Amino acid sequence: MKLGKYELGRTLGEGNFGKVKFARRLDTGEAFAVKVLDRKRILDLKIDEQIKREIATLKLLKHPNVVRLHEVSASKTKIYMILEYVNGGELFDRIASKGRLPEHLGRKIFHQLIDGISYCHDKGVYHRDLKPENVLVDVNGRIKISDFGLSALTHHLGNDGLLHTTCGSPNYIAPEVLANRGYDGAMSDIWSCGVILYVILTAVLPFDDRNLAVLYQKIFKGDTKIPKWLSIGAQNMLRRILDPNPKTRINVAEIKEDGWFKQDYAPTVPYDDEEEAYMQDPCPSPIETNQEDDHKELHTVINAFQLIGMSSSLDLSGFFEKEDVSERKIRFTSNHSPKDLFEKIEEIVTKMGFQVQRGNGKLKVMQQTQGFTIPSSAAPLSVAAEVFELSPSLYVVELRKAYGDSYLYRELCSKIAGNLGVYKSEPRL
């Protein structure tokens, strides 16, 4: 199938709102990922306004360490997003499979993470959900920050100059966000970067507990042990970032002046303004307009970063991996509350004979492990369930298979989604 100057090929993955297909540009042979979205479904679920807000957030960014979206075309029924093809997978998966990284390689990734997030901050964008699952790594070791679905802009600041929405992933959330008294978005992002650095260098979480209340107490106190086998420079960097007091926590400028950080540091240069013309003359929203039908050549173009913020609501986060992500995780939407969802999932999997652990905002159907290490004596199946809010009455349930029997995984997914979902993406095993 041809889509303008692109030729679409195999399906890379499927999500709640469409498919992602591998594509090549006909004139250059360059690889891309094309997300094909169902416009009617977006409108039916009434998430178009949320998508537009996310578009406004990400249209500001042009940086090599942020996943790029190059073009958007639309027909009467579909939206086609031409995305950068990132073939190395999530940082989380790399650490889970290979363990901690050598310090010099971990520092190189940290360099890029700080360059990318400091650029976002300079543009007035605060990510607010930084974690290894939202950091992609290509085959050349370059990282790409993704999933800006919880991000905020400076105009979201309150009269006190602070953000007030509590959001993020429990193990990576800054203590001042939990305190619910307002927080500096930049400093909370830095805290999350510090947790990611800890995970990169040790392959375990600095703050972890199955009891959510205990976990939050550890975060409030900055209660973690920094391994003595790390270099003195790495230990000091972690201590200065994982300072529970945001007023004394090291900031981006201080990180870049740190001696450990500066070793082999080559700053990433943002992209130039070659696409500025598109920003000055924006085209109509592809959600609202009626353009050519599906059988004609599609060529409507928006600035390269205008839709990358759709990652949260349109399930883009897993579609930048080399493998077919549908083999290890699915998502489906549901109108049930998170409390009801977790209780029902626990009931279903318990009846199937699995043990359940609840905490840290997730439900785990798995054998207890240390850090990211999967034991050789693993249970037949290990799955984690997590719930994300799209709107006050619509939630996304993600089921992620860590390892185990594919037949049981298919059966488990089918039972859960069949009982709870309003729309689902079946795993193809």
Angstrom distance (rounded) from CA 257 to CA 273: 28
Q: What is the pLDDT of residue 321?
A: 30
- What's the CATH superfamily of 328-424? Kinase associated domain 1, KA1 (3.30.310.80)
Residue 276 has pLDDT above 50, yes or no: no
Residue 109 has pLDDT above 60, yes or no: yes
Q: What is the pLDDT of residue 157?
A: 73
- What's the CATH superfamily of 2-86+271-311? Phosphorylase Kinase; domain 1 (3.30.200.20)
Pick 161 or 26 by higher pLDDT: 26
Confidence of residue 292 (pLDDT cuts 50, 70, 90): very low
In the chain, where the domains are located? 2-86+271-311, 91-262, 328-424
Domain 91-262 adopts which CATH fold? Transferase(Phosphotransferase); domain 1 (1.10.510)
133: its two tokens: 């699952």
Confidence of residue 416 (pLDDT cuts 50, 70, 90): confident
Length of the chain: 429
The pTM of the full predicted model, rounded to 2 decimals, is 0.61
Residue 300 has pLDDT above 90, yes or no: no
**Which residue type occupies 44?**
D
Judged by average pLDDT, the poorest of 99-113, 149-163, 207-221 is 149-163
Per the annotation, does 35 bind a ligand?
A: yes
Q: What positions carry a catalytic annotation?
A: 129
Angstrom distance (rounded) from CA 110 to CA 81: 29
